[in-house]
């Protein structure tokens, strides 16, 4: 098949996406597909030989993730201050492909905008959730409301559209400390702060508001952290996440050696059954399809699992969780990519 892997974009998770995309593109090329890795923001000039010549056989692709999020202002400057989020010839190339592998993270790649655009252009065979599922999963306020409606435990929370004294008062009175501050629709722990003391709140709010105009303040649930993936309706083995220092932030997620990850996780059969059932219910509640991943805390207070958030387009980097979970289920990385492509190709 001809497969275009869409990556990059203009979000704080740009580098994560490029790393995921490079790994995916290489794996699919090794599986015998003709592949193009395409930065959705930069686009590409089509050569005289035509779009078909952009799809490579036996291609090898690479990208690296730094310790910090990318400088998006520099990306814009390097691209002539382009306003459009979808670059030159991107949609035409997607139309020419048999499958579009969406390897984007954050912003329009995960909030449903890209999926809606592909739908409107008659491009149906793309990986992961449709625009509705992507939107519901990306907005943490909406997804948590749907979790509550479906009977899935999730931490108490409020949303804030401004900082200042009123925000501090609401957090103290309605959420309490310790708490977690996070942008409403970012992933990869971008802009997230864990607050143990009230004097840390102002800086945390300022950090989160740098990324979005609406943020979420959530009660901190203390306990062990897990992630559980879904692939084509199959719930994968849970993985336990143990950062060597701090919490599971951007650096600990993407730099090798910063976090211990145990898969399958050391849980009782009853605990596995519980978190697997909650994962399947969350997948259904958010109208997701193809594959996804959910983050949980096993509360040390009451012994139940609390769903923190959903990821409609899980990372596929060398240190990402879903590939490790799939491997524990007997699905090696190339087969994982192939399965995701097959699920997309079977869309009506």
Pair (205, 294) in one structural domain:
no
Q: How far apart are CA 129 and CA 141, in angstroms?
A: 18
In a shared domain, residues 121 and 191: no
CATH for 248: 3.30.470.20
Over residues 106-122, the pLDDT tens digits come to 889 889 999 999 999 99
Residue-averaged pLDDT of the chain: 91
Answer yes or no: do 10 and 68 share one domain. yes
Residue 347, in any domain of the structure:
no
**Tokens encoding 70:** 């990318």
Better pLDDT: 255 or 320: 320
- Unique residue bearing structure tokens 């211990």: 260
Report the candidate in 69, 93, 118, 58 with the shortest Cα–Cα distance to residue 253.
69
pLDDT over 80 at 189, yes or no: no
Question: Is the pLDDT at 324 greater than 80, yes or no?
Answer: yes
Instruction: Give backbone dihedrals phi and psi of 62, rounded to 5 degrees, phi first.
Output: -150, 155
Strand-by-strand arrangement of the 2-7 sheet = 34-39, 2-7, 99-102
pLDDT of residue 59: 80
Catalytically annotated residues? 13, 188, 254, 293, 295, 309, 311, 315
For residue 337, being part of any structural domain is answered with no
| CATH code of residue 91 | 3.40.50.20
In a domain, 344, yes or no: no
Residue 236 sits in the same domain as residue 90: no
Does residue 316 lie in a domain region? yes
> Is pLDDT above 50 for 175?
yes
Q: Which structural domain, as residue segments, surrounds residue 19?
A: 2-126
Which of 178, 200, 219 is where one domain is finished?
A: 219
Query: DSSP character for 309?
Result: E
Residues 97-129 as b/e (b if ≥16 CB within 10 A, e otherwise) read bebbbbbbbbbbbbbbbbbbbbeeeebebbbbb
Give the pLDDT of residue 254.
Answer: 47
Terminal C-alpha separation, the chain: 18
The residue out of 219, 252, 271 marking a domain boundary is: 219
pLDDT band at 11 (very low <50, low <70, confident <90, very high): confident
Find the mean pLDDT for residues 123-141: 95
Tokens linked to 52: 């078909």
Instruction: Clarify whether residues 144 and 190 are in a common domain.
Output: no
- The answer to whether residues 149 and 195 belong to one domain is no
Asked, for residue 345, whether it belongs to a domain, the answer is no
- What distance in Å separates the CA atoms of residue 201 and residue 209, rounded to the nearest whole number? 12
In a domain, 266, yes or no: yes
The answer to which of 94-98, 125-129, 243-247, 302-306 has the lowest mean pLDDT is 243-247
Indicate whether this model's pTM tops 0.95: no
Indicate whether 248 pLDDT > 70: no
Average pLDDT over residues 280-307: 97
Which percentage of the chain shows pLDDT scores above 70? 94
Whether the per-residue pLDDT at 181 is higher than 80: the answer is: yes
Mean pLDDT score, 159-175: 90
pLDDT value at 249 more than 50 = no
Q: How many domains does the chain have?
A: 3
Could you tell me how many helices (H) and strands (E) the chain has, helices first?
13, 13
Residues 20, 122, single domain; the answer is yes
12-21, 229-238, 296-305, range with the lowest pLDDT: 12-21
Over the stretch 142-161, which tens digit does the pLDDT of each residue have? 999 999 999 999 999 999 98
What pLDDT score was predicted for residue 252?
44
> Where among 219, 239, 257 does a domain terminate?
219
How large is the average pLDDT for residues 12-36?
92
- Is 278 contained in some domain? yes
Same domain, 145 and 278: yes
Residue 250 reports pLDDT greater than 50: no
Looking at the domain assignment, is residue 132 inside a domain? no
CATH of the domain at 175: 3.30.1490.20
Instruction: Kindly state whether residues 178 and 104 are assigned to the same domain.
Output: no
Report pLDDT for 339: 97
Q: What was the pLDDT predicted at 4?
A: 98
Task: Show the tokens assigned to 260.
Answer: 């211990």
Residues 21 and 102 in one domain: yes
Tracing tokens 């995701």 back to the chain, one arrives at 340
Indicate if the pLDDT at residue 256 is higher than 70. Answer: no
Q: Which residues contact 270 (CB under 8 A, 6 or more apart)?
A: none
Q: Are 87 and 120 in the same domain?
A: yes
- CA within 13 Å, CB half, 226: 29
- The reply to whether 210 and 234 lie within a common domain is no
Residue 258 confidence (pLDDT): 66
């Amino acid at each position: 098949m001809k497969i275009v892997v869409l990556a990059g974009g203009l979000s704080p998770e740009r580098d994560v996406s490029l790393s995921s995309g490079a790994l995916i593109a290489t794996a699919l090329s090794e599986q015998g597909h003709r592949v193009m890795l395409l930065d959705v923001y930069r686009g590409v000039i089509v050569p005289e030989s035509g779009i078909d010549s952009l799809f490579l056989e036996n291609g090898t692709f690479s990208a690296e993730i730094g310790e910090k999020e990318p400088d998006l202002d520099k990306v814009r400057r390097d691209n002539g201050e382009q306003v459009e989020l979808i670059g030159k010839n991107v949609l035409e190339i997607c139309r020419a492909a048999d499958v579009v592998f969406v390897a984007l993270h954050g912003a329009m790649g995960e909030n449903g905008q890209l999926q809606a655009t592909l739908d409107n252009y008659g491009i149906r065979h793309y990986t992961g959730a449709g625009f509705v599922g992507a939107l519901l999963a990306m907005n943490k306020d909406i997804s948590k409301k749907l979790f509550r409606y479906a009977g899935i435990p999730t931490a108490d929370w409020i949303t804030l559209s401004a900082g200042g004294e009123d925000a501090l008062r609401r957090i103290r009175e309605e959420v309490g400390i310790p708490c977690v501050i996070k942008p409403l629709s970012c992933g990869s722990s971008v802009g997230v702060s864990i607050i143990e003391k009230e004097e840390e709140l102002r800086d945390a709010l300022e950090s989160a508001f740098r990324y979005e105009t609406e943020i979420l303040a959530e009660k901190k649930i203390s306990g062990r952290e897990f992630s559980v993936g879904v692939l084509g309706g199959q719930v994968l083995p849970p993985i336990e996440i143990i950062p060597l220092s701090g919490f599971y932030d951007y650096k600990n997620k993407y730099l090798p050696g910063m976090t211990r990850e145990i898969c399958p996780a050391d849980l009782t059969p009853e605990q596995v059954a519980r978190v697997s059932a909650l994962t399947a219910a969350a997948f259904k509640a958010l109208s997701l399809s193809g594959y996804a991943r959910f983050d949980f805390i096993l509360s040390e207070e009451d012994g139940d699992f609390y769903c923190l958030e959903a990821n409609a387009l899980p990372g596929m980097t060398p240190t990402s969780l879903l590939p490790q979970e799939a491997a524990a289920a007997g699905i090696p990385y190339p087969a994982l990519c192939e399965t995701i492509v097959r699920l997309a190709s079977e869309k009506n």
